[in-house]
Structure 1
Amino acid sequence: MSYHLAKNIKATLTYYDVLDMPLTSFEIWKHLILQDIEQTGKHGVQSIGDVVKILSSGELDTIIQEHNGFYFLKGRKALVRKRIQAEKISVGKLRRMHRLVRILRFLPYVRMLAATGSLAMKNGTRESDWDMFVVLRSGKIWIGRTLLTGFLHLIGKRRHGRKIQDRACLNYFVTEDNLEIGTKDLFSAHEYRFLIPMYNERLFQKFELKNRWIAEYRPHFSLTAIPHLLMAKDISQRKKVQDFLEKIFDGLHLEVWLASWQGEKIRRNPKTSIEGSLIKADDHSLIFLPHPQGPRVFEKYKERLSV
């Protein structure tokens, strides 16, 4: 057990080193990575006590260091101060995003909103945007995206061009009947384990159930038992307003036309044909990742792990 756990601790710290993120002993346990996915089961799940025991045993002293309760690869002590600063910045950004979400939940067809990316990891910078994971009503993804994007643009909170800081980055939309993440790999397991739900606790629970595959990469993955502090509480007025607006837009029958028009626009966009891009546009998901981070992060992780 000790050998496998030490390897997994090294793998975990190496992976997060790529993301410039030192970890506490609890975080190492919580986000423990299986270096070999075949370990699931016998050598997968460990107690936090086992992790602390390995960290304090000196077994990994030639590889890792500790400072102020954070563990990191040797020579990367500067990451500790950087992480503390990033966390302070991210907390402020998340609070501002939460205030925005409390408004966005009234918009037609919006069913769930969550923070992802570096902000959800609390590893953002002052210049960073707000990566937003959006779930829309089934059968209304095109008009739902149009209304949400248009509203954010009108209030000056949509990321576009060089306008990035503290603006919503809308690159991942799915419908409520399509909650399972299509790309199942180490990076996706990391990305969606850190996801911070801000609206619709019930649908978020369904999202977690649909993505239990994360446990194949993160053996300590478990369903969230307590609503996140940034979860916007639902109110009766919200449903009344949303239902009223949806009746209006349902009557306009714009979904098919928007699907055709926007679909053609997406197909003609040069970013769609970039090698390695992840672009998906159909009635169940709208994903726009011309330069997905996953492959780059994984290559750096494997490279550093082999040193």
Structure 2
Amino acid sequence: MSSQISSLPENILKTLAYADIFDYPLTLDELVKFLIGKSEVKKKDLLNSLTKMITNSKKIYTDGEFYCLSKRKNLIPSRVKKRKWSKEKLKIAQKTAAKLQLLPWIKMVGITGALAMENCQKEDDIDLLVITSADSLWITRLLTILLSPFLGIKRRKPKEKYPKDKICFNLFLEENHLKIQPQDLFTAHEICQVKPLFNKDQTYEKFLLENKWVKKFLPNAFGCLLLEKNSPIFSPDFRARIKNLFLKIFNKISFALQYWYMKPKITQEKVSYSQAFFHPENQRKKILSLYQEKIRQLGLDKV
């Protein structure tokens, strides 16, 4: 028996334990996709191992559609409700992404967080990732903020208590700085669950390739998503170079002004010239700590 098959029961429990932190029972396809491990596993092998575990162990429960830790089967009805609320919020996100295409420097808009997993509470906001062309992040963000009221985009304000259905632009990246750190299970999950709503010039595919380190944690999620291709390299003509020079100057001015305004308020946000992470709270350490505690309770080795 190969090592990846022999470790399957443990990896299945680890995957369910991680999802349990978010009160999130998994379908079989989700369990296959987000299986924690070191190498890819075929669906049939996982299903065989899962069936044996359900028959011989009391650690896993299934209602035929969802799988969860045995003492958490009460989560299944709420998952069905969250799916309904998420579909309603997805429509708002799609309309927002369509409007953002008006800004020429936006290369991709994607949903992140709970909405990407169809795990939203009714009162949740909508988290969006925006990827811009090089040297345009801050002018794009500035215009996004200024134009949102005129485009009918209801943007979440900092520390807003009732953000239901409002848009939170919580992550901006430039297309030449797509790699996200640190490299751990939490970050790998956040990357793999991004769902693009608007994707120009294969920016989503480039985003995945720049973060292929996620295979170390979620090999199935990344496996077979892409056939790596080299994008053609070209030299812009003189007029394009002048245009890019002016864009770079205005972007630097936009960055300086916005950073000056934000600096006294920055707590756990990570802000640089080419990346901006606007998370209301830094959940990474908390989630990873809860995960380690759960797998300890299950008698499993740490990852």
Q: TM-score range by the shorter chain?
A: 0.7 to 0.9
Q: Name the counterpart of 2:240.
A: none
Q: Name the counterpart of 2:107.
A: 111
The unaligned stretches of length 5 or more in structure 2 are: 227-242, 298-303
Shift of the alpha carbon at 1:138? 1.1
The CA RMSD measured in Å over matched residues stands at: 2.1
Q: What is the distance in 1 between the residues matched to 2:279 and 2:65?
A: 35
Q: Name the counterpart of 2:225.
A: 224
The answer as to 2:118 corresponding to 1:122 is yes
Q: Which moved more, 1:151-160 or 1:195-204?
A: 151-160
Q: Name the counterpart of 1:76.
A: 72
Contact 1:179 1:207 in 2 (8 A): yes
The unaligned stretches of length 5 or more in structure 1 are: 35-39, 226-246
Task: Report the TM-score, using the length of structure 1 for normalisation.
Answer: 0.82
Q: What is the distance in 1 between the residues matched to 2:121 and 2:99?
A: 24
CA 1:86–1:290: 2 relative to 1, 3 Å: closer
Q: Name the counterpart of 2:301.
A: none
Give the secondary-structure state (helix, strand or coil) at the position aligned to 2:71: coil
- The equivalent position to 1:98 in structure 2, one of 85, 94, 97, is 94
Shift of the alpha carbon at 1:290? 4.8
Q: What is the distance in 2 between the residues matched to 1:156 and 1:206?
A: 27
Contact 2:107 2:199 in 1 (8 A): yes
Give the secondary-structure state (helix, strand or coil) at the position aligned to 1:68: coil
Q: Name the counterpart of 1:288.
A: 278
- The equivalent position to 2:156 in structure 1, one of 147, 155, 159, is 159
Q: Name the counterpart of 2:141.
A: 145
Q: What is the distance in 2 between the residues matched to 1:124 and 1:100?
A: 18
CA 1:255–1:74: 2 relative to 1, 3 Å: same
Report the AA paired with residue 96 of structure 1. Answer: I
Shift of the alpha carbon at 1:125? 1.6
Q: Name the counterpart of 2:234.
A: none
Q: What is the distance in 2 between the residues matched to 1:149 and 1:61?
A: 53
Q: Name the counterpart of 2:238.
A: none
Report sequence identity in percent: 30
1:1-307 alignment runs, 5 A limit = 1=3, 2-34=5-37, 40=38, 44-58=39-53, 61-154=57-150, 155-160=152-157, 161-201=160-200, 202-220=202-220, 221-224=222-225, 254-269=250-265, 272-273=266-267, 277=268, 279-307=269-297
Report the AA paired with residue 30 of structure 1. Answer: K
Shift of the alpha carbon at 1:203? 0.8
Q: Which moved more, 1:280-289 or 1:171-180?
A: 280-289
Q: What is the distance in 1 between the residues matched to 2:98 and 2:25?
A: 32
Q: What is the distance in 2 between the residues matched to 1:255 and 1:189?
A: 30
- Consecutive aligned runs of 4 or more in structure 1 exceeding 6 Å deviation: none
Contact 2:93 2:126 in 1 (8 A): yes
Give the secondary-structure state (helix, strand or coil) at the position aligned to 2:171: strand
CA 1:223–1:170: 2 relative to 1, 3 Å: farther
